[in-house]
Each structure stands twice: as C-alpha cells, then as structure tokens.
Amino acid sequence: MQLKDTVALVTGGKGGIGRAIAEALITEGSRLTITGRHEEELRATAEEIGSDFIVADVGDEADAKRTVAEVLDKHGQLDILVNNAGYGLFKPLVETSLEELGALYRTNVFGPFLMAKEAARHFIERGRGEMINIASTSALRGSASRTAYGSSKFALRGMTECWRDELRRHNVRVMLVNPSEVMTEFAAKAGSPREPSDTKLRPKEIADAIVGALKVDGRGFVPEFSVFATNPF
C-alpha cells in the first residue's frame, strides 16, 4: 500500500519501538497520532517528531473508545493501528503475584483487544485497514521467569490469529511482529537492565521491517514475522 496521506495510530508511542514506528510512518507521509499515559513525556515526543497525541490508557475501555473516536473526528478515517503499548515483568513463578499478572495483562492483552475492537469497527465499515500487533520472540517459546510477560505475548499472538482469520474477508490485514532483544529502556523498566551493545537490535530495525510489510500490495500481506539481530554476541 501507499503510506502517503494515510492516518495511523501508534499506542505506547512516546519512546522505544513505538516512537521509531511513528517516526518511520511520518517519514513515509502518514498523519500520525501517538498515545500514552504520561502527558508531559507524550507531549514532548509529539512535538519532537511532529505528531498528534492523545493521553490514554489502552487498558481502559472508555479511553480506547475515546482515542479512536478522536482520530476519526479529526481525520475522518483510520488506516493503520499499531498496538505497541506494553511492558515487561520478569519474575520466577513463585514470586509473581496475581495482582502483578492482572496489571500486566490489562496493558499487554486487554489493551490490544480494546484498541483492535474499536479500530475493527471502522475497518469493517470501510472495507479495508491495517493492524500491526507488536508481540515478542517470547511469544514463540516459553522461558524461565517469564510467566507474566511471555504468556501475555502468547495471548496476543493467539488473538492476532483469530482477528486475522475474521477480518481478512473485509480486506483488513492483521500482522504480528516478534522483535528479539532491542536496545531500549524496556528491560531496565522491567528490572533487568542491559549493557549497551552495538550489535543488538535498535528500534529502527523493527520500524523499517514494519514499513516494508505495510508497503506490500494490498492483495497480499505478511501475517507474522520475527526480527533478530544478525550477530548479537
């Protein structure tokens, strides 16, 4: 598809992968809106990259409805939804509380569900649309201390498969992206800081891959892909 003059919405867009995706789409000519919960940081990012912003919590149903409605009110359409908002929690099973699991699922699972639901209404009505869900290589294989995070990405992968099958008949392309380790603040915020590395992935690699997938002619699409560092060692 041609990205120029499309209207795109990226959740969790104030930094990291979300910001890189937003910047890449703006470069291609998209009219961009980013979302996040912290207004000051969100506003600063929006001013720096030249996007609109909406302060919202993806895990709140009223916020999800308001977000999509505001984009439609301003632009009259929505072409691309990128479900990027999410966070990590890495603890052994016996140290993970139900409250922690529930809070993480609210953002990582229920958030994409709510945003996809609202966007899908519009996509179905228009007979086209693009949905990109950002999962993780943790969605491909379970590992120790990832009960919460890994299972949330497995859930997102499963929902994506269901939405893909359901929405294809409406010319809606639903794609899943599984980034490997990316050098952002994600790990540090999850309590597992990483040393900087010039061989690990940057957010730009993920954004470039997404732009490439979106540019595939509308008669076909890339259902799912993973992005790994070539030689991270």
Residue positions annotated with a catalytic role: 149
Do 34 and 41 touch, CB atoms closer than 8 A? no
Which residues touch 227 (CB under 8 Å, ≥6 apart)?
Answer: 177, 178, 179, 180, 201, 205, 206, 209
CA distances from 8 to 15, 93, 178 (A): 16, 38, 20
Which residues touch 218 (CB under 8 Å, ≥6 apart)?
Answer: 1, 128, 171, 173
CA distance 24 to 105: 28
Phi, psi (5° rounding) for residue 75? -110, -15
DSSP symbol at 217: -
Q: Within 13 A of 38's CA, how many CA atoms are on the CB side?
A: 9
Partners of 131 in beta bridges? 81, 174
Q: Where are the alpha helices (DSSP H) in the chain?
A: 16-27, 39-49, 61-75, 98-105, 111-126, 147-167, 186-189, 203-215
Do 105 and 152 touch, CB atoms closer than 8 A? yes
Do 20 and 51 touch, CB atoms closer than 8 A? no
